Amino acid sequence: MGDEEDFTQLPLPDQFAHKNWKARKGGYETATKDFKVAQPNDSLVREFTDGQIWKAAVSDSNVAAQQEALAAYNAFLDASGTDGARKTRGSTVAGVVEKGLTGRPAAKQAAQETLLLLIELDKADPVIEELLPFLAHKQPKIIAATLAALTGLFHAYGCKTIEPKPVIKLLPKVFGHADKNVRAEAQNLTVELYRWLREAMKPLFWGELKEVQQKDLEKLFEPVKAEPVPKQERLLRSQQEAREEAAAQPDDAGGADGDVDGDEAGEIDLEPEYIAVDVFAKIPNDFSERLASAKWKDRKEALDDLFTAVNVPAMQDGPFDEVLRGLAKSMKDANIAVVAVAANCVECIAKGLRKGFTKYRSTILAPILERFKEKKQTVTDALAAACDAVFMSVGLADIEADVLEALKSKNPQVKEHSAHFLVRSLKTTKEAPSMEQTKEFAEAGKKLLTESVATLRDAGAEILGVLWKIMGDRNMLSHLDGLDDIRKNKIKEFCDAAEVKAKWKPKAAAPPPKANVAPAGKKPALGAKKVAPVGTKKPAAAPRIASPAPAEEAPLQPRPTSRPAVKAPAGLKAPGTGLKPPSGLQKPGTGLKAPSAISSSTASPQRHGVVFDEAPQLAAPKSGIAAPGRGLAGRPLGKPALPTSPSRNPEPASARSPPPQSALSSIERQELSELRTTVELLQQQNADLRNDKLRTASAITELQNQNAQLIEDHTRDVLQIKAKETQLVRARSDAESAEERANSLAKEIERLKREMGRLGRGRAPSDAPVDSPGVNGSDAPRPSAYGSRTYNVPSARAYGVDAYAGSGGALPSAAAATVPGDGEGKENIPDSTTASHLRFGLENNKLNSAAGTPSAVAPPSRPLSYGSRGAQSPDEGLPSTLAHAPSQQQHSYRSSTSVSSSSGGAGDGVESWRRAAEVTQNLKARIEMMKARQNVSRGQ
């Protein structure tokens, strides 16, 4: 043990490079202690400003020594500052990541602090560039450690200090890693980035993730959405210095130390970066000739080829003048398809060139705005997209002239779309417009408020509302004074609903120039007070305080008391007489007049003039008196005489009179500051009252609108009720008429039922025997009867169709016959055709009787129809049955039958057969129709 080598005697560089890990560990510990008390210019610090020494130290193979090496490196960085970080970070970051971040917990913490210090001392970009290659390392633990380190860096410095885009682009790759620890750290890093960027980061990587990964991240994002916007927790050295400087400034000198944190550094640019492409090689050489073709298809094809060439995210700058002139000419093309493709080409070129498109703005923007007269939606959408791309390339100030000119157009379409373009530009601009621009835009918006078209009025109100949102009440209320409450409320609604990216900030008054004027005074002692206006009055206070005799200070006070004495004529003589008495008599007088002098806040120029006139009178006797006791009045007057001529002595004396004025001016300044504070308070109260008035007027208007809406709803309800009542009245009337109709139909049905009842009673069969006639035509008595008062023609069975269907005997011909009725003597068979059919049926019954068939005639079950022969209408009578007739009538029927038999022949029989079949079919159809009518009437 005693033979062990003492490594502490070796120089530190030798201990750092020693083979024994204990020697290296001891050297690291010693270096840590020395660096904590070292200065940046010490030889020890300069000696270790070598990246190779620290590269071997932070990558030490012994974990215990490596932990101490990281602590020593952190102490060195703290001592060396920015210079040491810049010279060593290129060599040490790799070892810190591979050895430190994957080592023991203490080593991990020291390695994380190393990365934080390297960023703090200079900037973040070089450190991030060194870390990103480790996200593609072969060992998953190194990838996970690097992701964890990046999470800590973003948590400490935020996305405004560390550029997030390079890291976000690599997220899909690490999310696809096979190791679960790598994916877990990737999720943690993504959530940390989401804290700063929110939804703006998604377009850069979201589409490359799997759906499951997106759902998992959305769940992790939910708690973050409720958190406030994070703030930078650790400041760079440059930011710390800026904060210290801001803290050293007086409060009224700007004191905006809140901006040092970087919260107001502007929005984070998350636009994807693309490689610029040279598109001129892809543009056809004959583009201009084809664009000047007389055929619109050729022009459109030329523009399609141009669109294919320029449709790239970024392009190299070049001579696009001729191309843009051709596109501007295409804006006036008569074919809307050509105009739409030209607008798409302008949009691509503007997005590809970015700031390089500024020189082409005057060529293309005005024709695009003029073409807004087109009413087709697809064309106006393409033109609007082109205008937006132009604005993103040039800015608000460059489009101002063209937009204001378009707002003066006579075409309402051009005005409306130009106003909408201006609104979109104001919402997306990141720089608030100047006061002159605000005034011009406000005037244009107020002109649109007077338009007769409602859409133009709304567009004007929206312009003023967005301006109000950006510029605030202080700058916009003056532009809205001449408007009525209704328009103000409309503008206020647009203001509340607008989402803008720019906010007007008042430029702080520059007090440093005023402070610089104060040290320019004659006495440097006044520079410490930094009060420029009072700097000329303070020098008189120094001689008064520096005077050796205190008795001389009291007599100095009568000079301000002489001012009120000047007002009285006797006061002019009093000084002359007052000089002769002893000084003790003057002191009481001066003591009484001093308060009055102090009570007067300031002396007016007229009072100064009186003092100036009075001073020579007082100076004349004092100049002639050689007694030293009179020096109390001669001292102030004598001092100005040194630098100037004797004739000018009174004027400098009055100029040197500010000692009392300095006291009064301090009181005055205090009162003035109080008055200014009061004025500011009153102005603030006045502004609050105006805002309250606007809010109250808005609430009143809203209530009026609600009242009008309620009145309109009430009127609509009343009209609906009246309409329902009218419908009810009509429905009641229809119901009454339907009821009357139903009653009449019911009566008719009852009448028909009674008639059918009577017909049923008349169908009673007779018990008398019926003698059927022989086949050879011999007649026999055949009883038949009619059981009803009114009869229709019998059915086909009554005519004996079934009986004579197969017989070939002679059939009777048509003959006139009448059927006797009841006591009323009605005649139910009006023409000879019907009588002939009836006789034919009776004869057939005779034949059936002779053949042994019952002679009863079946009652007809349906109404009869007589076809085209002019038979009786079915409504003129009711169906009847033929029963057994009395014996008195049998003879007439037999005689008619015999006549028919004798006169008929074989030909007449066939013809009668055909006619009978035809009549039968007509009768069946008519009967069905009458039954259908009866069913309908019963249903009603």
Task: Show me where the domains of the chain are located.
Answer: 12-239, 274-394, 403-504, 681-716
731 pLDDT more than 90: yes
**Selected residue with higher pLDDT from 845 and 247:** 247
C-alpha 902, offset from chain centre: 109
Whether the predicted pLDDT of 677 surpasses 70: yes
What's the pLDDT score for residue 273? 64
pLDDT, one tens digit per residue, over 899-934 is 444 444 445 667 878 888 889 989 999 898 888 888
Both tokens of 715, joined, read: 């009127």
- Looking at the DSSP assignment, which residues form a beta bridge with residue 277? 315
Round to whole Å and give the CA distance between 127 and 116.
9
| Number of other CB atoms surrounding residue 85 within 10 Å | 24
Are the C-beta atoms of residues 780 and 788 closer than 8 Å to each other? no
C-alpha–C-alpha distance, residues 705 and 228, integer Å: 37
Give the chain's end-to-end CA distance (angstroms, integer). 131
Rg (CA), the chain: 60
Neighbours of 695 (CB within 10 A): 12
Q: Is pLDDT above 70 for 179?
A: yes
The more confident residue out of 337 and 589 is: 337
8 A C-beta contact, residue 443 and residue 469: no
Q: Which of 48, 72, 38 is nearest to 58 (CA)?
A: 72
Q: For residue 759, what are the CA distances in angstroms to 756, 798, 819, 924?
A: 5, 16, 16, 19
Query: What does the pLDDT read at residue 551?
Result: 39
Average pLDDT over residues 320-344: 93
- How do residues 155-170 score in pLDDT, each as one tens digit? 999 998 999 999 999 9
pLDDT of residue 698: 85
How many C-beta neighbours within 10 Å does residue 184 have? 13
Q: Residue 881 pLDDT more than 60?
A: no
Across 115-124, 271-280, 284-293, 526-535, least confident range: 526-535
Domains 274-394 and 403-504 share a fold: yes
Of 23-27, 389-393, 403-407, 529-533, minimum mean pLDDT range? 529-533
The number of C-alpha atoms within 13 Å of 474 and in the hemisphere containing its C-beta is: 9
467 band by pLDDT with thresholds 50, 70 and 90 = very high
Q: Which residue has the higher pLDDT, 495 or 668?
A: 495
CA distance 53 to 414: 71
**Predicted local confidence at residue 765, as pLDDT:** 52
Q: What string of DSSP letters covers 294-349?
A: SSHHHHHHHHHHHHHHH-SS-B-----HHHHHHHHHHTT-S-HHHHHHHHHHHHHH
Percent of the residues in the chain that have a pLDDT greater than 90, as a whole number: 41
Q: What is the pLDDT of residue 786?
A: 39
Q: Tell me if residue 558 falls in helix, strand or coil.
A: helix
Q: What is the mean pLDDT of the chain?
A: 73
782/849 Cα distance (integer angstroms): 9
CATH of domain 403-504: 1.25.10.10
The string of pLDDT tens digits covering residues 741-777 is 999 999 999 999 888 888 888 665 544 444 444 434 4
DSSP state for residue 236 in the 8-state scheme: -
3-state helix, strand and coil shares in percent for the chain, rounded to the nearest 5: 70, 0, 30
H runs (alpha helix) in 449-484: 454-471, 473-476
Secondary structure class of 882 (helix, strand, coil): strand
Distances (CA, A) of 723 to 70, 728, 737, 921: 91, 9, 21, 55
Q: Which amino acid is at 291?
A: L
Q: Which of the residue ranges 22-26, 768-772, 886-890 has the most confident prediction, judged by mean pLDDT?
A: 22-26
**CATH code for 274-394?**
1.25.10.10
Q: Is 491 exposed, middle or buried (0-12, 13-18, 19+ CB in 10 A)?
A: buried
User: 174 to each of 140, 146, 165, 209, how far by Cα in Å?
Assistant: 10, 11, 15, 10
Between 71-80, 167-176, 664-673, the lowest mean confidence (pLDDT) is in 664-673
Q: What is the mean pLDDT of residues 108-132?
A: 93
Residue 814: which pLDDT band, with cuts at 50, 70 and 90? very low
Lowest mean pLDDT among 102-116, 291-305, 326-340, 765-779: 765-779
Q: CATH number of 12-239: 1.25.10.10, 3.10.110.10, 2.60.40.420, 1.20.120.1770?
A: 1.25.10.10
Residue whose entry in the numeric block shows the structure tokens 């009458």: 930
39/80 Cα distance (integer angstroms): 7
Backbone φ and ψ of 682, nearest 5°: -65, -40
What is the token pair recorded at 565?
């004495």
Q: Whole-prediction pTM value?
A: 0.43
